[in-house]
Amino acid sequence: MASLSDREAKACESNPIRDALDAFRLDFRSKFDSVDLKDITDRFIKQLLAKLHPLSATMQLPSRQSPQSLFDDLSGLFPRFSSGPLNVEGTALLLEKVINQAPDHDIWCAVYDLVTPTTPPITPRVTISSVPDTPHSFGSGTVHNTDEGRKYMDAVIENEMKHHIHLDLLEFFTAFFDSVNGLPHLVDVVFARCWLCDSYMDSKPPAQPLLESLTSDSQL
């Protein structure tokens, strides 16, 4: 809740409310047990503002929005109230202060809170510069169809792969390949054949018939 400045406090002390709101309190208490906005009608809120508006203090208390007085701020509050709901928290606070007979200082602080327009938070605008137009990383795909040589690509590929290659993973074969029928025996045969081969040329499979026919002298 806002506090009063020295000038506002002096105007408040010089123009006490006294019993100006007693009739409103009596009428309110005859219909409501507590300050609950769910049950309070607009008529009572308008009635309270109408009681506060002509008090001499409103002419002496300065406006916080213009060079005029709080009287003018309250005058501008009525059209806002007719066009839509008021500040719920501000309305509840003012009703609570008035019904509970709070000091004049607290009542006028609540009035200032009510007449001050609430400003919605400003959402930052998205600018073009905040949207990345080019990639920030350099990968092997970046140099596709370029003149980059292999000596430059080795470091790039190594950087891409070093975090994705894992060695000595326990139970890796069992987890991924154990369900393939006959695979362990086939692996043993392949490794045994590779072990017996003396060179890469010896381990090459024979050429496919179709490939041999296409590369024969009669087809060239």
pLDDT tens profile 87-99: 777 888 888 899 9
155-199: pLDDT as tens digits: 777 777 777 777 777 777 777 777 788 887 887 888 788 877 655
This prediction has a pTM of: 0.52
With tokens 């590929």, the residue in question is 157
Strands (E), 85-211: none
What angle do helix axes 104-115 and 88-99 make, rounded to 10 degrees? 160
Determine contact, residues 17/51, Cβ cutoff 8 Å: no
Determine contact, residues 113/93, Cβ cutoff 8 Å: yes
Identify the H or E element spanning 43: helix 42-52
